[in-house]
């Protein structure tokens, strides 16, 4: 990546005050920062950070009614996922993955979801390892205002985001409260903010340039063919250096950032309409938070451990999953199916909110990767085989999408592990005992 | 110096005989072994099987039971609409303590079911039930077998349970509570079935051997046991039983009654205990034999399966704990107690589905020294 | 051994100098190495050549140098296979931009782990005077020691200064000694002196080019241990002992006795057997419900354990690997093979692997029929005699099977997949054997693979396909057989089998494809291999002690070839 003369002038300005010591530098908006038309801030070329969302719902889908019937490119979803049709090419569906217990008891509505989030099948009295969003935010969340955001569409503070050692990140249950937190009086417009270069990167870059200085001496030692290879090495080294240089510069302005309208108060309860509304409002706020660089990680619960009710129905969702027999004429539980459609619809609402904010030639959804999971593969039996999981969004081109991948009983951890590797975390393996994996699902890694 | 397993658990093929032919069956030309992949009450469902309607769903049942416990309609409504408070400890305790001792003090209906009057749960009045004529008398039982047409089918357990919502189904559906527990249970030592005969692909006499394994097995993505795994047999004679039957036109039938005892799992059934057992298996596909096994089973043990998880059963599965106690006791149809005359066993039939497996005897040189009392 | 190695005193310095191109500075020097020789300092003898580290080498080195508590949390950019080996491709592999980013991330992560509070006291043997500032004595001591092991030679003065400066700057800026050490270590791990193996030639006594002592040490340690030289080997190189016959023999015998030989042997067979393809292996989960990630891991380990047990522990004949019935299994593999595998894990103990011997009449002997081979060379949804036959020839016999022509239409075979008439693979492939355009190549592969059809795509054992009994007759190089056991016997007795191994082992060590110029050298090695009962250890020893193994072929860019020719003519 070549730097333009406009950028060079900014760097010179920076170097003069830095002296290898971290300092806050206020950069005035000089003329050279604008693009040729003077209509927008010229980008430095640094790509905005990818975003990660975990979206956990409860009680799964009716087996046989969600995954596409074919493997590979998705042409049609199962009946309970029809709401996701507009996003078909952005979704990866994973079927046949399970949580492996290794003789631990099946903690109902618990083992499945915690295994896919922490890599470890939970046991009573044993603290959970950090959840995947904690690992992701240690890379993506260190320089944002919020390391991560947790929300619960059921209205409670229950959260599935844990830091390890028993520390749980509590969730917001009310959209108004989340609005206040994100866009209330403490919100600062990122396009006017001051910038601090990361001191560690300054040192890293300095070390790399010392290695680069070896070039002349080493090149003289080798023959022609090998000289080309060494040249390639040093070119790659230079690119790495340039990547670090860009990180030392003020990040690109965020033209997609806009402050959303304040949402209204929502009634309490877990009626399906109330749940959908809460989820929609949370999704919109999170999309704006991403666009404004307030955070890069969000954890959303839809109806995990919250039992939705339909007007006029005697039972709630959870009860139906256990009580309703499988209708032998159609092969599934029809009342349960009605609730499952709501879950798919809510997911579609979240994807819509993320997709509605345009960024360059893509959208916030394109810059994100959404890990969708649930607690069971078959709610009636608390079965934790074939747990529905999706990865949605290409994470800024880091993932291929639109595929259906099936596994022969591999652990659910492979999906989370793939998400982490795709996002560039240095992770060689994840999970414990039979859930331990070192094999990402390479078909979806770009 | 090198990583080498020959000094560790070496098991030569001679020791790990694929089958234990010497264990009580005649020397036969071939044996095929299986693990029990699915096991649950064999239910049926048809028009008119519950003419009085089904038993109330959990929502209604909880309302009834709390009312029985003396709660006001308001309090009941509050408990049922407050989200997590639905399962609040106080409403559970109230449901539990709805019984009364002789002196009027509150008693636990779950621990002393007779502390409430018999609620007379609705039971099956239809014509059909899966099962067997266990006592050889066509005028007892009262059901007709839908598959074979046999009359005098004895299946009082189904009669008692078939009008609960979770049991009101038939294949390919399965009763909710039992199958969810079977699926959960990843620690249960598996049940093994071996079939021996001169040529199992032809009609002929066969021997069916039931055993318990020492351990559980690996499952695949669908929750079924992976085929062709090896299971180490328990040599505990209590769990080893042999039955004689016959294969004809792809169906294996054991008519000569046998006994069976297999240890299960606390959350399912503490033990499967059958007398006057009969078996009917479709063996056209030897990679997936399936059918039914019937017999008289202790009704109190079966009731314990619900009783031990009474709160969740009543609140989520709508199965009335004292109700089933009274009904099982009334419907029990075998093995009268010599003193009281109360029948201790109840007729039943269960669905059984098998997956191919290999059996091995525990090689004594390999396992712990405390196994030395076992015969080789 | 085939070249005349009587040392000659070649007094042609002046003549040589006169002929040399001005750009090439040439020294006549006895075949010895100086202590602390480094790339910066001594004059260049001749062009060095580079081999990039592979993933397993990177991990092995980190394990050997920094210990088992350090995790390598990422994947090294994969190499390219050439002439059947990734090791030969290592002469072409370089470091791309994304590979560089990966190496950088790995280096930082490893350095952070090594200097963390839990690890620093085990890995860094000295303690700084203060933790919040640079301590030159301790810091430089550690970085020199670890640098020597990582660069596989002592650091030169300029190199040392550069690394020390980086570390000091970082420690001072962050007020943290260990951060400084970490920055220094991280720089070592990303340097080309670490990531590439520098093979530096010098002129031997007979005027030919040979690796200098430190390069010799590297070649030897990567050959036998898949890692950099340890301290003893480095010292033998630096003292000149490695350049003597007895010194070399002492090191080679020490290394062959070491437990580290197993890691080296595994690395070789992983390369030769192309086990890197396991990363991409997928099977259709609906068709093969038994196949899982666990099966893949176990299948690879099964074959490697079999090989190590057969060749290193019991030191048996290499050819018998194809007919042996002894192997190691886990319960998951037992389900695939449909043989009993009661392992201790099943009753709660932690041992999954058991040693197992198949019956004498089992139709699946040897490593050919092991799960690893049959699953790697099959399609996700069905088996493939063609892929298996091709792989057998290319991997074990060093033969090349031509690729299919670009315009071949596969629809005929795909449509017949579910045909009622063509129910077995044999029937469906009959067109391969009869169509003239196809038969030429397919008769090289199909008759081999068809004998292996009892192993389905996931390795599971079957005797019939779509209700029809599988016919496993086949032929290979004139031998006819009725099943895979017969195929295994035919392969075992084929003379190309052992000579292909010799070829691969040699190439693996030199990083070069064997060419026609090496024919007589290879023939001698093959004869020895046969005389010694086809034992791997004797082959390794013979190669490691052979001067030829350390020879450097002349490069085009220098005029040394002309010089050599002139020298030998005299």
Q: What is the number of alpha carbons within 13 Å of residue A212 lying toward its C-beta?
A: 17
Phi and psi for C514 in degrees, rounded to 5?
-75, 130
pLDDT band at C563 (very low <50, low <70, confident <90, very high): very low
Q: Which two tokens stand for residue B209?
A: 């051997």
pLDDT band at B375 (very low <50, low <70, confident <90, very high): very low
Q: How far is CA B167 from each of CA B157, B158, B177, C473, rounded to the nearest angstrom? A: 11, 9, 8, 55
Give yes or no for a contact between A53 and A300, defined as CB atoms under 8 angstroms apart: yes
CA C120 to chain centre: 32
Give yes or no for a contact between A372 and A343, defined as CB atoms under 8 angstroms apart: no
Q: What is the mean pLDDT of residues C451-469?
A: 89
CA separation for the pair B30, B21 (Å, rounded): 9
CA separation for the pair A299, A147 (Å, rounded): 11
Closest CA to A351 of A324, A371, A322: A371
Four-residue CA torsion sign, B75, B81, B85, B87 = positive
Q: What is the mean pLDDT of residues B165-171?
A: 90
- Assess whether pLDDT exceeds 70 at residue A24: no
Q: Return the axis-axis angle of helices B58-68 and B89-96, rounded to nearest 10°.
A: 70
SS3 at position C137: helix
SS3 at position B204: strand
- Assess whether pLDDT exceeds 50 at residue C2: no
Please give the residue of chain B at the shortest CA–CA distance from C338.
B228
Closest CA to C39 of A218, B91, B4: A218
Q: Which two tokens stand for residue B76?
A: 């009941």
ipTM exceeding 0.95?
A: no
Q: What is the DSSP letter of C319?
A: G
- Mean pLDDT, chain A, whole residue set: 85
Query: Which chain A residues are Cβ-neighbours of B84 within 8 angstroms?
Result: 156
Question: How many C-beta atoms surround the C-beta of residue C43 within 10 A?
Answer: 8
pLDDT for res C353? 86
- Mean pLDDT, chain B, whole residue set: 84
Q: Return the axis-axis angle of helices A132-140 and A413-422, rounded to nearest 10°.
A: 0
Least confident of A252-261, C127-136, C381-390, C559-568: C559-568
Q: What is the mean pLDDT of residues C139-146?
A: 97
List, for residues A121-165, the tens digit of each pLDDT value: 999 888 999 999 999 998 898 878 888 999 999 988 889 999 888
Any idea which residue has 């205002």 for tokens? A145
Min Cα distance C111 → chain A (Å) is: 12
pLDDT for res B183? 77
pLDDT band at A20 (very low <50, low <70, confident <90, very high): very low
Q: Is A15 exposed, middle or buried (0-12, 13-18, 19+ CB in 10 A)?
A: exposed
Interface contacts (B, C; CB < 8 Å):
98
Give yes or no for a contact between C128 and C177, defined as CB atoms under 8 angstroms apart: yes
Q: What is the DSSP letter of A395?
A: T
CA B136 to chain centre: 23
Question: What is the β-pairing status of strands B290-298 and B269-282?
Answer: antiparallel
- Assess whether pLDDT exceeds 70 at residue B16: no
List, for residues A235-265, the tens digit of each pLDDT value: 989 888 888 887 787 766 788 999 999 998 8
Q: How far is CA B342 from each of CA B296, C184, C247, rounded to the nearest angstrom? A: 14, 85, 93
Kindly state whether B201 is in contact with chain C, defined as any CB-CB distance less than 8 angstroms: no
Q: What is the mean pLDDT of residues A8-19?
A: 35
Beta carbons of B228 and C351 less than 8 Å apart: no
C332, C336, C351 member nearest B8 (Cβ): C351
pLDDT for res B28? 62
Kindly state whether A397 is in contact with chain C, defined as any CB-CB distance less than 8 angstroms: no
Q: What is the mean pLDDT of residues B170-189?
A: 82
DSSP string of A25-39, one letter each residue: BPPP--GGGB-TTSS
Any idea which residue has 């090349």 for tokens? C400
Give yes or no for a contact between B128 and B143, defined as CB atoms under 8 angstroms apart: yes
Query: Which chain B residues are Cβ-neighbours of A382 within 8 angstroms?
Result: 180, 183-184
Please give the residue of chain C at the shortest CA–CA distance from A94.
C285
Rounded to a whole number of angstroms, the CA Rg of chain C reads 27
Q: Which two tokens stand for residue C567?
A: 């020298």
List, for residues A71-129, the tens digit of each pLDDT value: 999 999 999 999 999 999 999 999 999 999 887 888 889 999 999 999 999 998 889 99
Q: What is the mean pLDDT of residues B90-115?
A: 91
- Assess whether pLDDT exceeds 90 at residue C501: yes
Query: Which chain B residues are Cβ-neighbours of C336 within 8 angstroms?
Result: 228
SS3 at position A184: coil
pLDDT band at C413 (very low <50, low <70, confident <90, very high): low
Q: Which two tokens stand for residue A437?
A: 């994996």
Closest CA to C96 of A235, A243, A397: A235
Give yes or no for a contact between A355 and A365, defined as CB atoms under 8 angstroms apart: yes
Query: Which chain A residues are Cβ-neighbours of C100 within 8 angstroms?
Result: 233, 236-237, 239-240
pLDDT for res B208? 96
CA separation for the pair C482, C484 (Å, rounded): 7
DSSP string of C210-253, one letter each residue: EE-HHHHHHHHHHHHHSS---HHHHHHHHHTGGGSHHHHHHHHH
pLDDT for res C155? 94
pLDDT band at C66 (very low <50, low <70, confident <90, very high): very high
Most B-contacting residue of C263, C340, C358 (CB-CB within 10 A), to test interface: C340
pTM of the model: 0.79
Give yes or no for a contact between B121 and B55, defined as CB atoms under 8 angstroms apart: yes
Q: What is the mean pLDDT of residues C187-211?
A: 91
Subunits adjacent to chain A (3 or more Cβ pairs under 8 Å): B, C
Question: How many C-beta atoms surround the C-beta of residue B46 within 10 A?
Answer: 14
Question: How many C-beta atoms surround the C-beta of residue C105 within 10 A?
Answer: 17
Least confident of A384-393, B83-92, C298-307, C377-386: B83-92
- Assess whether pLDDT exceeds 70 at residue A394: yes
Q: What is the mean pLDDT of residues A211-227?
A: 87
Min Cα distance B202 → chain A (Å) is: 33
- Assess whether pLDDT exceeds 90 at residue C565: no
CA separation for the pair C99, C92 (Å, rounded): 14
Min Cα distance B174 → chain A (Å) is: 8
Top-confidence residue, A280 or C76: A280
CA C110 to chain centre: 24
SS3 at position A232: helix
For C347-491, where are the E strands, in sequence order?
354-357, 464-465, 468-469, 474-476, 479-481
Q: Euclidean distance between the first and final Cα of chain C, in Å?
A: 20
Question: How many C-beta atoms surround the C-beta of residue A248 within 10 A?
Answer: 18
pLDDT band at A295 (very low <50, low <70, confident <90, very high): very high
Four-residue CA torsion sign, B362, B366, B367, B373 = positive
Q: Which two tokens stand for residue A229?
A: 């290879």
pLDDT for res A380? 86
Most B-contacting residue of A106, A111, A121, A155 (CB-CB within 10 A), to test interface: A106
Give yes or no for a contact between A413 and A437, defined as CB atoms under 8 angstroms apart: yes
Q: What is the mean pLDDT of residues A343-366?
A: 96
pLDDT for res A9? 39
Q: CA angle at residue B308 from B304 to B314, to 5 degrees?
A: 100
Kindly state whether A115 is in contact with chain B, defined as any CB-CB distance less than 8 angstroms: no
Q: Is B129 exposed, middle or buried (0-12, 13-18, 19+ CB in 10 A)?
A: buried
pLDDT band at C21 (very low <50, low <70, confident <90, very high): very low
Please give the residue of chain C at the shortest CA–CA distance from A72.
C284
Query: Which chain A residues are Cβ-neighbours of C104 within 8 angstroms?
Result: 208, 240
List, for residues B37-90, the tens digit of each pLDDT value: 999 999 999 889 999 999 998 888 988 998 888 888 888 887 776 654 445 667
Q: Which two tokens stand for residue A352?
A: 């819509």
Query: Which chain A residues are Cβ-neighbours of B223 within 8 angstroms?
Result: 98, 377-378, 383, 385-386
């Amino acid at each position: 990546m070549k730097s333009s003369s406009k950028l060079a002038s900014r760097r010179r300005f920076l170097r003069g005050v830095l002296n290898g010591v971290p300092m806050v530098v206020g950069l005035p908006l000089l003329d050279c920062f604008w693009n040729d038309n003077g209509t927008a801030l010229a980008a430095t070329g640094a790509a905005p950070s990818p975003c990660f969302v975990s979206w956990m719902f409860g009680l799964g889908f009716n087996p046989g009614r969600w995954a596409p019937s074919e493997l590979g490119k998705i042409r049609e979803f199962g009946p309970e996922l029809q709401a996701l049709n507009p996003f078909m090419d952005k979704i990866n569906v994973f079927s046949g993955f399970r949580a492996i217990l290794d003789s631990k008891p099946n903690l109902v509505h618990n083992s499945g979801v915690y295994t896919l989030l922490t890599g470890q099948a939970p046991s009573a009295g044993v603290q959970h390892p950090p959840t995947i969003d904690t690992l992701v935010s240690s890379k993506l969340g260190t320089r944002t205002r919020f390391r991560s955001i947790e929300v619960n569409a059921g209205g409670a503070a229950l959260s599935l985001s844990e830091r390890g050692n028993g520390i749980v990140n509590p969730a917001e249950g009310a959209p108004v409260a989340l609005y206040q937190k994100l866009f209330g009086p403490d919100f600062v417009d990122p396009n006017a903010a001051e910038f601090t270069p990361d001191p560690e990167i300054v040192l890293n870059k300095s070390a790399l340039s010392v290695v680069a200085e070896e070039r002349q001496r080493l090149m003289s030692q080798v023959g022609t063919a090998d000289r080309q290879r060494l040249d390639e090495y040093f070119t790659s080294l230079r690119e790495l250096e340039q990547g670090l240089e860009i990180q030392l510069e003020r990040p690109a302005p965020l033209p997609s950032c806009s402050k959303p309208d304040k949402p209204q108060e929502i009634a309490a309860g877990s009626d399906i309409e109330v749940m959908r509304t809460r989820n929609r409002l949370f999704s919109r706020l999170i999309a704006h938070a991403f666009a404004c660089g307030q955070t890069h990680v969000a954890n959303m619960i839809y109806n995990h451990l919250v039992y939705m009710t339909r007007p006029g129905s005697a039972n709630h969702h959870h009860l139906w999953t256990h009580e309703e027999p499988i209708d032998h004429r159609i092969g599934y539980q029809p009342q349960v199916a009605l609730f499952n459609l709501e879950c798919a619809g809510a997911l579609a609402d979240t994807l819509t909110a993320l997709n509605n904010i345009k960024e360059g030639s893509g959208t916030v959804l394109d810059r994100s990767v959404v890990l969708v999971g649930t607690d069971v593969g078959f709610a009636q039996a608390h079965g934790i085989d074939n747990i529905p999981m999706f990865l949605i969004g290409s994470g800024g081109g880091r993932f291929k999408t639109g595929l259906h991948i099936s596994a022969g009983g591999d652990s659910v951890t492979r999906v989370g592990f793939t998400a982490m590797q795709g996002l560039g975390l240095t992770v060689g393996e994840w999970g414990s005992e039979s859930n331990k994996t070192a094999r990402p699902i390479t078909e979806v890694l770009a | 110096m090198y990583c080498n397993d020959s000094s560790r658990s070496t098991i030569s093929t001679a020791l790990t005989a694929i089958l234990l032919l010497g264990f009580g069956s005649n020397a036969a030309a071939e044996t095929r072994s299986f693990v029990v992949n699915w096991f649950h009450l064999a239910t049926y469902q048809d028009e008119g099987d519950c003419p009085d309607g089904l038993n109330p769903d959990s929502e209604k049942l909880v309302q009834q039971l709390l009312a029985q416990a003396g709660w006001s309609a308001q309090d009941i409504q509050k408990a049922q609409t407050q989200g997590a408070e639905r399962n609040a400890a106080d409403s559970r305790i109230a449901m539990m303590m709805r019984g009364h001792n002789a002196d009027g003090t509150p008693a636990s209906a779950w621990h002393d079911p007779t502390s409430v009057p018999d609620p007379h749960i609705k039971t099956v009045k239809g014509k059909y039930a899966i099962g067997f004529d266990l006592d050889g008398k066509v005028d007892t039982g009262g059901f007709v077998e839908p598959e074979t047409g046999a009359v005098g089918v004895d299946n009082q357990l189904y009669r008692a349970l078939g009008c609960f919502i979770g049991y009101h189904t038939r294949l390919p559906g399965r009763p909710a509570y039992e199958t969810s527990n079977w699926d959960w249970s990843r620690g249960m030592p598996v049940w093994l079935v071996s079939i021996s005969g001169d040529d199992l692909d032809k009609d002929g006499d066969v021997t069916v051997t039931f055993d318990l394994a020492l351990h559980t097995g690996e499952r695949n993505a669908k929750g079924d046991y992976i085929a062709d795994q090896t299971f180490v047999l328990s040599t505990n004679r209590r769990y080893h039983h042999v039955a004689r039957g016959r294969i004809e036109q792809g169906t294996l039938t054991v008519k000569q009654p046998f006994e069976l005892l297999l240890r299960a799992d606390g959350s399912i059934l503490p033990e499967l205990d059958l007398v006057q057992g009969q078996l009917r298996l479709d063996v056209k596909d030897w990679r997936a034999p399936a059918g039914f096994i019937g017999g008289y089973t202790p009704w109190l043990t079966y009731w314990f399966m619900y009783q031990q998880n009474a709160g969740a059963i009543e609140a989520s599965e709508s199965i009335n704990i004292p109700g089933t106690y009274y009904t099982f006791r009334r419907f029990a149809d075998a093995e009268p107690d010599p003193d009281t005359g109360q029948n201790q066993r109840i007729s039943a039939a269960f669905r059984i589905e098998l997956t191919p497996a290999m059996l091995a005897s525990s090689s004594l040189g390999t396992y712990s020294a405390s196994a030395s009392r076992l015969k080789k | 051994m085939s070249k005349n190695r009587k040392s000659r005193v070649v007094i042609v310095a002046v003549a040589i100098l006169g002929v040399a191109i001005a750009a090439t500075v040439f020294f006549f020097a006895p075949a010895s190495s100086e202590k602390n020789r480094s790339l910066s300092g001594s004059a260049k003898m001749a062009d060095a050549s580079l081999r990039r580290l592979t993933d397993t080498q990177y991990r092995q080195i980190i394990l050997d140098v920094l210990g088992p508590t350090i995790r390598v949390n990422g994947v090294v950019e994969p190499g390219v296979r050439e002439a059947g080996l990734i090791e030969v491709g290592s002469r072409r592999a370089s470091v791309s931009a994304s590979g560089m980013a990966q190496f950088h991330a790995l280096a930082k992560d490893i350095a952070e782990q090594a200097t963390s509070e839990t690890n620093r006291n085990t890995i860094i043997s000295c303690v700084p005077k203060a933790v919040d500032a640079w301590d030159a004595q301790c810091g430089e001591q550690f970085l020199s020691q670890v640098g020597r092991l990582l660069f596989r030679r002592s650091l030169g003065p300029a190199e040392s200064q550069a690394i020390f400066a980086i570390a000091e700057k970082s420690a001072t800026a962050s007020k943290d000694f260990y951060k400084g050490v970490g920055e220094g270590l991280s720089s070592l791990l990303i340097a080309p002196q670490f990531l590439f193996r520098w093979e530096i030639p010098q002129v031997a006594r007979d005027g030919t080019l040979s690796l200098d002592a430190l390069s010799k040490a590297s070649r030897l340690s990567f050959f036998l241990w898949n890692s950099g030289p340890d301290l003893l080997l480095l010292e033998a190189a630096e003292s000149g002992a490695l350049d003597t016959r007895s010194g070399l023999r002492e090191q080679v015998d020490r290394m062959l006795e070491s437990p580290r030989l197993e890691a080296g042997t595994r690395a070789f067979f992983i390369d030769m057997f192309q086990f890197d393809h396991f990363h991409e292996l997928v099977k259709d989960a609906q068709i093969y419900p038994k196949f899982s990630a666990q099966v893949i891991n176990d299948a690879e380990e099964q074959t490697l354990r079999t090989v190590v047990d057969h060749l290193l522990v019991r030191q048996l004949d290499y050819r018998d690997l194809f007919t042996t019935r002894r192997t190691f299994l886990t319960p998951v593999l037992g389900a695939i093979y449909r043989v009993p595998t009661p392992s201790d894990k099943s009753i709660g103990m932690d041992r999954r692997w058991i040693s197992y011997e198949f019956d004498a009449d089992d139709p699946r002997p040897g490593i050919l029929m092991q799960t690893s081979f049959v699953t790697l060379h099959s399609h996700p949804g069905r088996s493939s005699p063609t892929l298996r036959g091709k792989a057998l020839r290319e991997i074990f016999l060093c033969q090349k099977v031509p690729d299919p022509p670009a315009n071949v239409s596969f629809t005929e075979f795909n449509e017949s997949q579910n045909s009622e008439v063509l129910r077995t693979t044999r029937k469906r492939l009959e067109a391969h054997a009869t169509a003239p355009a196809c038969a030429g190549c397919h008769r090289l592969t199909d008759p081999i693979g068809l004998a292996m059809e009892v192993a389905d795509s996931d390795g599971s054992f079957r005797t019939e396909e779509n209700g029809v009994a599988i016919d496993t007759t086949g032929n290979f190089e004139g031998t006819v057989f009725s099943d895979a056991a017969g195929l295994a016997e035919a392969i075992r007795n084929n003379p190309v089998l052992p000579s292909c191994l010799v070829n691969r082992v040699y190439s693996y060590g030199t990083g070069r494809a064997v060419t026609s110029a090496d024919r007589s050298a290879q023939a001698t090695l093959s004869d020895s291999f046969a005389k010694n009962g086809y034992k791997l250890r004797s082959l390794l020893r013979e190669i490691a002690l052979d001067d030829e193994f350390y020879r450097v072929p002349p490069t085009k860019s220098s005029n040394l070839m002309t010089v050599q020719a002139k020298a030998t003519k005299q």
